[in-house]
Chains A and B, each alone.
Chain A
Amino acid sequence: MQPKLELLTQDMIARILDEAFQLMLKPGIKVQSAEARQLLAEAGARIDEANEIAFIPEKVVRTALETVPAAFHLYDRHGNPKVTYGGDAVQFDPGSSGVHVLDPETLEHRPSYTADLVRLVKVAEMLPQYAAQSTAVVCNEVPKPIGDLYRLYVVLMFSEKPIVTGSFSIQTLPAMFDMLALFAGGRDALAEKPQAVFDVCPSPPLIWSDFGAQNLIELARAGVPAEMVSMPLAGAAAPVTLLGSVVQHAAESLSGIAIHQLAQPGSPIVWGGAPAIFDMRRGTTPMGAVETAMIDAAYAQVGKSLGLPTHTYLGATDSKIVDAQAGLESGVSAVLGALAGINMISGAGMLDFLACHSPEKLVVDAEAIGMAHRLVAGLEVRTETLATMLFEGINFKGDFLKQRATRQLFPLEQYLPSPVIDRDSIRGWQAAGSPDTFARAKALTRQLLDEYRRPQIALDREAELSAMVEGLAREAGMERLPNLD
C-alpha cells in the first residue's frame, strides 16, 4: 500500500474546479497568442480581441480533457522507458535553470558556466535517485539566444537519462527537437519515444503569454511532452489563501490544456507547477515553506482527480549554503511531494529560491529522495508469517543476524544511505576527522566525479551533435563552442 497525503476532500476538489471554470469565464484568461485565441474561438470560446482575453466555457476544457493521455513514458537514449508520468509514480530530477552555483570552497554564489553544468550533469548521472536529468543551470558564457539549446546539448553529451528541459524562445524549439531526434532516430521516433519533457509556463495571474501559448502549440504538434509549470505566488501574484492559489493553478492549467489539445488532440501534457507562498517579511518566494508544499500536494490531487500526469517543484531550499535549513527544507518537502504521489518532483540541488545550484547539495538531497522512495514503497509483507516463523530457533537470544531471512531481506527493508548520512559511532566519526554533512558531501561529490564515465551513446553522436550546435552558435555570433572537458 502506497501511503498517501491527501489534503482535499472530494467536495473540495469539485469546488476548486468549479471556481476555476468560473475564473475562465470571468475574468477569463489572457491569451497573448493570436493563434491560440483562434484555436479557442473555433472551439467555442468568446474572445475579446482588443484585450486578448479568451472566455473559455467548461465544455471546451472538458472536451480537451478527454483526449489528454493519462500516462506516458520518457525514454533514455537507448529507447528504454525510464520515467513514468501518470498514476502515483514518484520520481525526482534536479532543479532547472539556476543562474548561480555554490562554490564548495569559498561558499560564494557565482555565475554558472559550462563547467558547472557538466559537473551537475555528471553527479546526477551517477546518482540513481535521479530518474531524469534537468538542464540545471544556464551557461553564462554562451549567447542568450542559444542558451536553452546549448544547455540541452551539454546534457546530451554527458548523460543518457531522460531530460526535463524547456526552451527560452519559439525560434530555438525546432533545433532542440532536432537534437533529441538525432538520438531518437527522427522526429516521428522522438514523438513515439520522447526522451525529454519541455516545461512551459503560464504567467500569473491567469495569463498565457504569446511565447507560453505558442510553446504549447508547437509541442503539441511535435508530439513532444509538455509540462505546464503554473506558478501562483500566494499573496502577491495569486490569492493569499492556499486554496485560492490552487484554484488559480487549476484555471491556468486547464486553459493550457485546452490550447494544447486544440492544437493536437492526444499529445502528452503534464499538470505541473512551481507555486510558492509570498514571504511577507522579505518579499521572497520560499520554496522550502511547508505552505508551498501544501499548495503543490493540493493541486496535484486536483490533477489526479482529472486523470492527469503530475509534476511539481520541491526538494529545494531557500538557504544559501548546504546547512541544516537546506537539509530540513529539502528533506521535508521531498517527502511531502512523494507522499502526494507526484510523478516528477524537480528542485533537488537548488538553493536560494531556485537561483543557485550545487552538486554537493544534489548528493545530500539524493539521500532525502532515497528515504522518500522508501517511505512511499510502504510496508510490505515479505515473509509467510510476519514474525512467528522468524522466531524459530531464537530461544530468547538476539540471534536474528544469523538468519538467512535477515541477509536476504534487509536490503529490501532498509534503504542503504550513502556515506553522506553519518551512522558511525562517535569515535568512528572522530577518527574520520569529524566531518559535517557538507564535508561528507564534498568528498562523495569528488568521488562520483572521479568515477564518472561518459556514456558510449553520447560519444557515438558527439560529432553530429557538435556540428549541429556549432552551426547554431555561429548564427548567434559565437565562433567556437566552449571546451567541455
Chain B
Amino acid sequence: MSAELFEKMARSVLDGDSDEAEALAKQAVEMGLDPLECITSGYVVGVNEVGENFACGQAFLPELVMAGEAMKAAVAILEPEMAKRGTARQMYGKVVLATVEGDIHEIGKTLVGTLLSASGFEVIDLGVDVPTTRIIEKAREVNADIVALSALLTTTMVKQGEVIEALEDVGLRGKVKVMVGGAPVTREWVARIGADGYSEDAIGAVKVAKELMGKA
C-alpha cells in the first residue's frame, strides 16, 4: 500500500508534477504515514533518478528544475507534520546562497539552490546583487555551514574573494565552508581566493556540498 504510494511520489518528481507531488503528500498525511519516510523512500528516490538521468544525458535542465520544484512542494506539506511529530528530516547542512554584489545573474544560482534543497540541504537564497555585509550577517544569523557564491562576470567575481576575507575578519571562516561558481570561475581562481570548492554545474555543486559536509 505505502510502497505503491512511494512509487507514485517518486514518479511525481520524475514527471516534475508539483500538483501531484503536493496531492500525494496530503494523502500521506491523511493516511498517517511517516512524513520522513515519504521523503526518503518516495520523493528523494525520484530526485536521485532525475539527477542520474541528467548526468548521463537522458534528462535535461527543465526536468531537473521541475523535479526540484515538485520536491519542494511536497516537503512544504510534510514539514509541519514532521514538526508535530517531533521528527525532523536529517539535513546535510545549511547553505546561504547568493549572487554577489554588482551581479544580477540568477539562473545558475537558482538552479544550484533548487538542487541543493531537493538533495537535502536547507537553502537560504538571498537572491542576486547581494552586498557582502548582508551575506555575512545572514551566515552568522542562521549559523550557516556553507556560503555559496555565484558570479557570472570577471568584474564581479572578485567579490567572492571579498566575502571570504570578510568571513575571516568576523571570525566565521573556521566554521563556514565557501563554495563558488559561475562561468569565469576556474580551479586556479578557487585556489587564489582560498575557497573550499567549486563546480562546473549544478549537479556537481550538490556533490561538492556533500563532500564539504563530509557526507559524500
- A residues lining the B interface (CB < 8 Å): 397-399, 401-404, 406-407, 410, 419, 425, 427-428, 431
Q: Which 3 A-B pairs have the closest CB atoms?
A: A407-B62, A401-B65, A406-B62
Output the nearest chain A residue to B68 by Cβ-Cβ distance: A402
A397 to B107, CA, bound (A): 9
- Give the contacts of B100-122 with A (CB-CB under 8 A): 106-107, 110-111
Per DSSP, chain A at the interface is helix
Return chain B residues, CB-CB under 8 Å to A398.
106-107, 110
A197 to B57, CA, bound (A): 37
Kindly provide the distance from the CB of B54 to the nearest chain A CB, expressed in whole angstroms.
13
Return chain B residues, CB-CB under 8 Å to A402.
65-66, 69
Output the nearest chain A residue to B107 by Cβ-Cβ distance: A398
B110 near A407 with CB under 8 A, answer no
Return chain B residues, CB-CB under 8 Å to A428.
200-201
B61 near A401 with CB under 8 A, answer yes
Q: Is B183 an interface residue (CB 8 A)?
A: yes
A160 to B92, CA, bound (A): 53
A212 to B154, CA, bound (A): 66
Contact A404 to B16, CB < 8 A, known contacts A425-B183, A427-B186: yes
Show 20 A/B contacts (Cβ-Cβ < 8 Å), sorted by A: A398-B106, A398-B107, A398-B110, A399-B110, A401-B62, A401-B107, A401-B110, A402-B65, A404-B16, A407-B16, A407-B62, A407-B63, A407-B66, A419-B57, A425-B183, A425-B200, A427-B200, A428-B200, A428-B201, A431-B200
A425 to B107, CA, bound (A): 16
B183 near A397 with CB under 8 A, answer no
Number of A-B contacts (CB under 8 A): 32
Contact A397 to B200, CB < 8 A, known contacts A402-B65, A404-B16, A406-B62: no
Return chain A residues, CB-CB under 8 Å to B66.
402, 404, 407
- Give the contacts of B136-184 with A (CB-CB under 8 A): 183
A410 near B186 with CB under 8 A, answer no
A402 to B110, CA, bound (A): 10
Kindly provide the distance from the CB of B66 to the nearest chain A CB, expressed in whole angstroms.
6
Return chain A residues, CB-CB under 8 Å to B69.
402
A410 to B111, CA, bound (A): 17
Return chain B residues, CB-CB under 8 Å to A401.
61-62, 65, 107, 110-111
Return chain A residues, CB-CB under 8 Å to B186.
427
Output the nearest chain A residue to B65 by Cβ-Cβ distance: A401
Kindly provide the distance from the CB of B192 to the nearest chain A CB, expressed in whole angstroms.
16
A419 to B66, CA, bound (A): 24
- Give the contacts of B9-40 with A (CB-CB under 8 A): 16
- Give the contacts of B48-67 with A (CB-CB under 8 A): 57, 60-63, 65-66
A161 to B60, CA, bound (A): 30
A399 to B128, CA, bound (A): 13
Output the nearest chain A residue to B185 by Cβ-Cβ distance: A427
Kindly provide the distance from the CB of B60 to the nearest chain A CB, expressed in whole angstroms.
7
Return chain B residues, CB-CB under 8 Å to A410.
60, 62
A419 to B201, CA, bound (A): 17
A397 to B125, CA, bound (A): 14
Output the nearest chain A residue to B67 by Cβ-Cβ distance: A407
Return chain A residues, CB-CB under 8 Å to B106.
397-398
Kindly provide the distance from the CB of A440 to the nearest chain B CB, expressed in whole angstroms.
14
A398 to B110, CA, bound (A): 9
Kindly provide the distance from the CB of A186 to the nearest chain B CB, expressed in whole angstroms.
44
Residue of A398, A401, A407 ringed by the most chain B CB atoms within 10 A: A401
A471 to B187, CA, bound (A): 67
Kindly provide the distance from the CB of A403 to the nearest chain B CB, expressed in whole angstroms.
8
Kindly provide the distance from the CB of A404 to the nearest chain B CB, expressed in whole angstroms.
7
A425 to B202, CA, bound (A): 13
Residue of B62, B107, B201 ringed by the most chain A CB atoms within 10 A: B62
A403 to B18, CA, bound (A): 11
Return chain A residues, CB-CB under 8 Å to B60.
410
A298 to B186, CA, bound (A): 52
Return chain B residues, CB-CB under 8 Å to A397.
106
Output the nearest chain A residue to B19 by Cβ-Cβ distance: A404
A404 to B107, CA, bound (A): 17
Output the nearest chain B residue to A419 by Cβ-Cβ distance: B57
A406 to B65, CA, bound (A): 10
Kindly provide the distance from the CB of B38 to the nearest chain A CB, expressed in whole angstroms.
23
A140 to B62, CA, bound (A): 51
A425 to B65, CA, bound (A): 20
A402 to B63, CA, bound (A): 9
Given A425-B183, A431-B200, 6 new contacts (CB under 8 A)? A398-B106, A401-B107, A404-B66, A406-B62, A407-B66, A410-B62
A393 to B107, CA, bound (A): 16
Output the nearest chain B residue to A401 by Cβ-Cβ distance: B65
Kindly provide the distance from the CB of A353 to the nearest chain B CB, expressed in whole angstroms.
37
